[in-house]
Structure 1
Amino acid sequence: MIATSDITIPDWIKEEHKTGTTIVAAEFNGGVIIAADSRTTTGAYVANRVTDKITPLADRIFCLRSGSAADTQAIADIVKYHLEFHEMETGSSPLVNTAAHLAKSIIYNNKERLLASVMVAGWDSYKGGQVYVVPISGMIVRKSIYISGSGSIYAMGYLDAFYKPNMEKNECLEIVKNAVAMAIARDGSSGGCIRFAVVTDKGVERNVILNTELPRFYEN
């Protein structure tokens, strides 16, 4: 038997799982589109190539997670629990704004212990499609479009140039997919496939674009 003290443990084993990432949410005329890459890293090691970073909180409300995988998953689980309880008490579907403020409260009250940033997006009958951003500081702000994560710097200019309020679904979906594909091509912490969801009053359409099917751009 080899003593543990004789074994050199690689640094990446000691590292926390992180969703070093690219996540995008955009409002369009009729709902919201949310998308994310699927790479999870442990230090420099790719721990998972097909992670689902789009976490459902309610029927038409989703959370996009960035930061510590454990922290963001715990936040999503707590928010989902409270929304289910809220729905049982009121007899009505929860609002996107309610879910966002629950996430904001958790992150703000624990910001010294958590490494977590989330986007809460979805559709409700009160305000339609909405995107709320809750960064690591615990503030909350509504955006018509937002991109976050380590890969965001590679696609932010593209979204600024091509996004317009009240876009049609297919046009908005195309620029969101292109933005995530650009980030995957350039960012070492983003990769895998693109998972996306379209949320409207009619329900949720979820789909996956495999890595071999991603839009390709000039790389040099």
Structure 2
Amino acid sequence: MGTEAMLGLTGKDFVILAADGQAAYSIIRLKNDADKIWKVGKMLFACSGPPADAGNFMEFIEKNVILNELRTGIPMSTKAAASFTRNELAHALRKGPFQTDLLVAGVDNDGPSLYFMDYLASSEKVNKAAHGYGAMFTLGLMDRYWKPNMEEAEAIDIIKKCIKELETRFIVELPNFKCKIVNKDGVKEVKL
């Protein structure tokens, strides 16, 4: 568990992800404007961990999801992409593990879906999720305010409450957050 904070919520017809912009090595902050949310096809992957592991693993996943679509002519569903990603984490765990935690988000014909994955290759479909030490401060807020069929404005408000809680209680300063929403029309970035 790192000092990062990644948050995710499902809504009526969308999924929202937010991640801090900190890239760190040990106790050294390397940068404050890292984008930890990757657009892969029509999905979003939030990935945290050591910057090299996160970058290399996400490039590998992105290229393979695109390759699969080129081979089959069919875009991967969010469930299939999450299963593929979990399987790759499980294989890597036995060879040279990636220290990456992920949130996989997408909207398919059966609605929005959010998958919680950790570096030990566990995976679960959830309605709300958080990774890193930030999860200790934000999951309670998500439990309290999340509801089925939320509108985008409500979800953005919950994300803002979570970030405010991190600013108030967390000893590590996480100055910048990126926030992105995926829906049936694609991906958009939200200014917080």
Structure 1 residue aligned with 2:116? 133
Taking the aligned partners of 1:190 and 1:36, their CA distance within structure 2 comes to 13
For 1:86 and 1:48, the matched residues in 2 are separated by 33
TM-score by length of 1: 0.80
How do 1:1-220 residues align onto structure 2 when only pairs under 5 Å count? 20-58=3-41, 60-111=42-93, 113-124=97-108, 126-189=109-172, 191-209=174-192
**Structure 1 position 202, deviation (Å):** 2.0
**Letter aligned with residue 100 of structure 1:** A
Distance across 2 between alignment mates of 1:181 and 1:76: 28
Q: CA deviation at 1:188?
A: 4.2
Per-residue CA distance 1:4-25 (angstroms, 9 max, x = gap): xxxxxxxxxxxxxx97311111
Higher relative contact order (CA 8 A, sep 6+): 2
Structure 2: distance between partners of 1:104 and 1:134: 7
Tell me, yes or no, if the aligned pair for 2:86 and 2:121 is still in contact at 8 Å: yes
What do you get for the CA RMSD once the two structures are aligned?
A: 1.8
User: How far is 1:177 from its partner?
Assistant: 2.4
- List structure 1 runs of 4+ shifted beyond 3 angstroms: none
Report the Cα offset of residue 190 of structure 1.
5.2
Question: What is the CA deviation profile of residues 12-53 of structure 1, one whole-angstrom value per residue up to 9, with x for unaligned ones?
Answer: xxxxxx973111111100111111111122222211111101
State the shift of 1:189 in Å. Answer: 4.3
Q: Distance in 2 between matches of 1:182 and 1:40?
A: 21
What residue identity is the alignment partner of 1:160?
Answer: D
Look up the match of 1:6: none
Query: Do the aligned residues in 2 keep the contact of 1:50 with 1:192 (CA within 8 Å)?
Result: no
Give the SS at the match of 1:155: helix
| Matched positions, count | 190
TM-score, reference length from structure 2:
0.90
Deviation at 1:170, TM superposition (A): 0.9
State the percentage of identical aligned residues: 21
Q: Say which SS state the counterpart of residue 191 (structure 2) adopts.
A: strand
Unaligned runs of 5+ in 2: none
SS in 2 for 1:89: helix
Other structure's SS at 2:93 match:
coil
> 1:56 aligns to what SS in structure 2?
strand
Aligned CA distance change for structure 1 residues 97 and 82 (closer, same or farther; 3 Å): same
The SS at the match of 2:21 is coil
Conserved? CA contact 1:87–1:94, under 8 Å = yes
Using the TM superposition, give the Cα deviation of residue 199 of structure 1 relative to its aligned residue in structure 2, in angstroms. 1.0
1:155-185 deviation per Cα after TM superposition (whole angstroms, max 9, x unaligned): 1211111111221121112102221332244
Contact 2:9 2:114 in 1 (8 A): yes
* 8 Å CA contact retained: 1:37, 1:190: no
